[in-house]
Structure formats: structure tokens, C-alpha cells
Amino acid sequence: MMFSRSRSGDLSRRTTVLLLTALGLAVLHHIDHALRVDHSGWPFRDRVTPFTYSLLAYPIVVFALTGPVRAFPVRWGLLATTTAFTIYAHTAIESPGTQFHMWMHNRSVHDAELHNALDVRSAGMAAVSVAVGMALNLTVVLATLSMLRDRVGGTRRDR
């Protein structure tokens, strides 16, 4: 009986850890979105927003991690596209200043009547929100580059 290679056998340990870290940070960041309210959307609010579409990042990252080896170009392309949208969203749609403001002042820079779900003013929450967002940005960029390096440079499981 033949055993096939692990589905993520074409990824280095480094890339796998970066992608798993990105998933964890994405969960924290989406929780922050839901609590900040101003950059949230369905399923936490009654409308579809860019937040709603950002939830597609989860199946894309899982596919990048576990997809078939022969689909590497598609896996990487989807991950690179998701990374580009993430960086765009975190600069053009919701900047770190926007995140910070909602927690620090308990009101949105876009709508002064909109408050965070916890109804608090917190410099600590503001700092954590920005730190998680920035860590997510850095991690997805590093994961995308690492995955490309795995393909271009060949993969060794000990990397």
C-alpha cells in the first residue's frame, strides 16, 4: 500500500508556522473588528461590508496550508492576493489610527455616534488592537514570501 505525501509536504516548517500564526492573529483581529463595531459587518452587523469578505481569508489560508502539491501556484496566488487585500484594507480602509481612535475615544472617526461594543475608553485596548493588526500584516507578508521561497528554493522540512 502506497502512502501519499503529506498535503503540506511542500511547505517548510517556517512557512507552516507563519501561516498558522497568521490564522491565530486573524482570529484575534476579527474579534477586535466585531468589538470595535465601526469596521465590522455581517455576521455581527446586519450588512455586508469589507469585513464580511475578509472572512474568506480563513479558507484561503487553510488551502495554502493543506492544498495539493500540484496546486501550489494557485495556493500561492490566492495567498498573495489575500495578503495584498489585507495590506490595502489596513492602510486605506482601516488604518492603525482608526483602530486606535475607536478604543481610545469610544467613537468612530467615521461616525461619532458609533461606539465600541464594550462601551469603554481604553489606551490598553487601543494599543493591543494596533499591535495585533500590525503583527497580522507582517506575518501574512512573511508567510507569503516564505511560501514562495519554498517553491523557488526547494523545500526542506527542517527549515
pLDDT over 80 (residue 6): no
Average pLDDT of the residues of the chain? 90
Q: Is the peptide bond before 68 cis (omega within 30 degrees of 0)?
A: no
pLDDT digit string, tens, across residues 56-96: 999 999 999 999 999 999 999 999 999 999 999 999 999 99
- Whole-prediction pTM value? 0.88
Helix axes 123-153, 72-88, angle to 10 degrees: 150
Least confident of 4-8, 35-39, 45-49, 117-121: 4-8
Question: How far apart (Å, rounded) are the C-alpha atoms in residues 110 and 90?
Answer: 15
* Identity of residue 42: W
Q: Is the peptide bond before 59 cis (omega within 30 degrees of 0)?
A: no
- By the 8 A CB rule, do 17 and 157 touch? no
